[in-house]
């Protein structure tokens, strides 16, 4: 059994503040002394992992981690380690102290977990000291939760069952955006329907964002650009996020208060389908384009190009102006994507709403491996328009 390859084992990682009972819960769940337990906060300094058989889950690796609320430089390193482990884990258990009313760090960490597309279980531990759930529910979004006591074993069976149920679920596609906000969050969408838009329906990124907001219990106000002032006046509170079509971003920014977080549909897509940081750097690399450079424009679907098409006309025009001379453009559409991209100086992709995250990432990986910067249309417009940093603030 111990020889089951690690990749075939279910990795279950435990996260939480110091002293909430992560190690105690790992030991209680497994019936083994995996980790040292003590009343001194910070007793688990480095991640501890152990492979074992845990019925009915089968072969697993449990990973116990150091507290997320550690302070100082070492603390920052520990948090980075914890994030690495989050990426490796199949199931992520967030342990908290049921009796502690301060759940600020837990809410933040849950957002981080959701952003990574983690399968999450919340374990409220030490219920022997907090028999009744106190106060209003603190969970920022729907997520399975169990109440347990590692010390007296209460709730452990339910905890095991919840893990089994979670393991049976396929990993979620990370939420496009709404999963990063509490339920009831208000989104103001600016979605002008220009001549490029298909007749009688919204374009897919808009549909997907609206659906994501509804799925996560959010509220949406949608209007075209010309109605923006009226739309703003109709709100009874400040929106949690303004999401606009990239092409009118600068005009939207001019009209909304400076402290309203704002981003573009395509930036949300970059975050959900690819890697926002890498692709924002890709946009910044536009500064390095010189006349004669090769730019690959990649669209994930095939459609009829209309006049002033963003991929074929708008972006090439902007880039050539910036580079100060003619560039070489290659265009691919649909499933076509070059086998090797090393000859390119830059790749600019569409948002990728028609392809899966895995598919998009395989293209991004190819670019990264070849040392070629890659970005998308919206990030390109954001950078060229001078509002890239403003549109990324919502994700910091």
Ligand X SMILES: Nc1nc2c(ncn2[C@@H]2O[C@H](COP(=O)(O)OP(=O)(O)OP(=O)(O)O)[C@@H](O)[C@H]2O)c(=O)[nH]1
Q: Which positions lie near ligand X, rule CB under 6 A?
A: 16, 18-24, 37-39, 41-44, 66-67, 125-126, 128-129, 149-151
* Nearest to ligand X of 149, 298 (CB atom): 149
Smallest distance, ligand X to C-beta of residue 167, A: 23
Q: Least distance in Å: CB of 44 to Mg ion?
A: 3
Q: Which residue number, 15 or 225, has a Cβ lying nearer to ligand X?
A: 15
Q: In the complex, what is the shortest distance from the CB of residue 39 to Mg ion, in angstroms, rounded to a whole number?
A: 11
- Choose between 37 and 241: whose C-beta lies nearer to ligand X: 37
Which of 44, 61, 349, 376 touches Mg ion by CB under 5 A? 44
Minimum CB–partner distance for residue 339 and ligand X (Å):
48
Cβ count within 10 A of residue 8: 8
CB of 102 to Mg ion, least distance (A): 19
Read out DSSP for 368-379? HHTT--EEEHHH
By CB under 5 A, tell whether 208 contacts Mg ion: no
Reduced DSSP (H G I as helix, E B as strand, rest coil) percent helix, strand, coil of the chain, to 5: 40, 20, 40
Using the 8-state DSSP alphabet, how is residue 107 labeled? H
The residue range among 22-30, 55-63, 321-329, 348-356 that interacts with Mg ion, by the rule CB under 5 A, is: 22-30
Q: Return the number of the residue (23 or 247) whose C-beta is nearest Mg ion.
A: 23
Looking at beta carbons, which residue is closest to Mg ion?
A: 44
The interface region with Mg ion, picked from 39-47, 85-93, 334-342, 358-366 by CB under 5 A, is: 39-47
- Residue 38 CB contacts under 8 Å (≥ 6 apart), including other chains: none
206 binds, among ligand X, Mg ion, none (CB under 5 to 8 A by kind): none
Comparing CB distances to ligand X, the nearer of 69 and 345 is 69
DSSP 12-44: EEEEESTTSSHHHHHHHHHTS--S---SSTT--
State how far the Cα of 60 lies from the Cα of 63, in Å rounded to an integer. 10
Residues in contact with Mg ion, shown as a per-residue x/- string from 254 to 293 under the rule CB under 5 A:
----------------------------------------
Q: How far is the CB of 41 from ligand X (least distance, A)?
A: 5
Q: For residues 236 and 39, what is the distance between their CA atoms, to the nearest angstrom?
A: 48
Of residues 154 and 332, the one with the C-beta less far from ligand X = 154
Kindly state the smallest distance separating residue 65's Cβ from ligand X, in Å: 8
Q: What residue 119 binds from ligand X, Mg ion, none (CB within 5 to 8 A, per partner kind)?
A: none
Give the separation between CA 367 and CA 134, rounded to whole angstroms.
Answer: 50
Of 44 and 175, which has the nearer Cβ to Mg ion?
Answer: 44
Using an 8 Å Cβ cutoff, are 14 and 113 in contact? no
In the bound complex, which residue of the shown chain has the CB atom lying closest to ligand X? Answer: 21
Work out the burial of residue 110: count CB atoms within 10 Å of its CB; fewer than 13 is exposed, 13-18 middle, 19 or more buried. buried
Residue 105 preceded by cis peptide, ω within 30:
no
Residue 231 interacts, among ligand X, Mg ion, none and using kind-specific CB cut-offs from 5 to 8 Å, with none
Total of chain residues touching Mg ion, rule CB under 5 A:
3
Q: CA nearest 330: which of 322, 389, 342, 15?
A: 342
Please report how close the Cβ of residue 10 comes to ligand X at its closest, in angstroms. Answer: 21
Query: Which of 108, 90, 98 lies closest to 12, judged by CA?
Result: 90
SS (H, E, C) 274-325: CCHHHHHHHHHHHHHCCCCCEEEEEECCCCCCCCCCHHHHHHHHHHHHHHCC
Residue 165 CB neighbour total at 10 angstroms? 11
Rounded to a whole number of angstroms, the minimum distance from the CB of residue 45 to ligand X is 8
Contact with Mg ion (CB under 5 A): which of 11, 14, 21, 23? Answer: 23
3-state secondary structure 8-20: HCEEEEEEECCCC
Segment interacting with Mg ion (CB under 5 A) among 2-10, 43-51, 82-90, 147-155: 43-51
Q: Which residues pair with 241 in a beta bridge?
A: 187
Residue 126 contact, options ligand X, Mg ion, none, Cβ 5-8 Å cut-off depending on partner type: ligand X
Question: What backbone phi and psi angles, to 5 degrees, belong to 24?
Answer: -60, -40
Q: How far is the CB of 100 from Mg ion (least distance, A)?
A: 16
Residues that bind Mg ion (CB under 5 A): 22-23, 44
């Amino acid at each position: 059994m111990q020889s089951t390859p690690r990749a075939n084992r279910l990795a279950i990682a435990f996260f939480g503040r110091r002293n909430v009972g992560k190690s105690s819960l790992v030991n209680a769940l497994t019936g083994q002394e995996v980790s040292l337990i003590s009343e001194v906060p910070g007793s688990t300094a480095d991640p501890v992992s152990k492979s074992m058989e845990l019925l009915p889950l089968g072969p697993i690796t449990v990973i116990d981690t150091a507290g997320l609320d550690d302070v100082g430089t070492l603390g920052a390193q520990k948090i980075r380690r914890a994030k690495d482990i989050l990426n490796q884990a199949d199931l992520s258990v967030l342990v908290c102290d049921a009796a502690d009313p301060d759940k600020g760090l837990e809410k933040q960490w849950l957002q981080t977990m959701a952003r990574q597309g983690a399968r999450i279980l919340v374990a409220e531990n030490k219920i022997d000291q907090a028999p009744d759930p106190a106060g209003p529910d603190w969970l920022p979004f729907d997520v399975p939760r169990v109440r347990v006591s590692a010390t007296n074993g209460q709730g452990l069976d339910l905890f095991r069952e919840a893990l089994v149920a979670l393991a049976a679920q396929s990993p979620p596609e990370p939420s496009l955006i709404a999963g990063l906000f509490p339920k009831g969050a208000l989104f103001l969408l600016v979605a002008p329907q220009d001549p490029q838009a298909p007749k009688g329906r919204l374009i897919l990124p808009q549909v997907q964002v609206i659906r994501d907001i509804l799925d996560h219990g959010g509220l949406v106000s949608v209007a075209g650009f010309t109605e923006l002032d009226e739309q703003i006046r109709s709100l009874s509170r400040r929106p949690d996020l303004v999401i606009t079509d990239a092409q009118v971003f600068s005009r939207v920014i001019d009209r909304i208060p400076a402290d309203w977080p704002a981003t573009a549909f395509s930036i949300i897509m970059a975050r959900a389908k690819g890697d926002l940081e890498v692709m924002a750097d890709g946009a910044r690399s536009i500064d390095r384009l010189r006349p004669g450079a090769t730019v690959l424009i990649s669209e994930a679907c095939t459609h009829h190009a209309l006049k002033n098409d963003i991929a074929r006309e708008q972006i090439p025009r902007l880039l050539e102006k910036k580079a100060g001379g003619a560039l070489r453009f290659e265009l691919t559409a649909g499933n076509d994507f070059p086998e090797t991209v090393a000859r390119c100086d830059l790749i600019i992709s569409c948002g990728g709403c028609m392809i899966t995250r895995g598919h998009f990432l395989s293209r991004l990986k190819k670019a990264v491996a070849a040392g070629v910067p890659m970005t998308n249309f919206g990030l390109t417009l954001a950078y060229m328009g001078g509002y890239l940093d403003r549109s990324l603030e919502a994700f910091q």
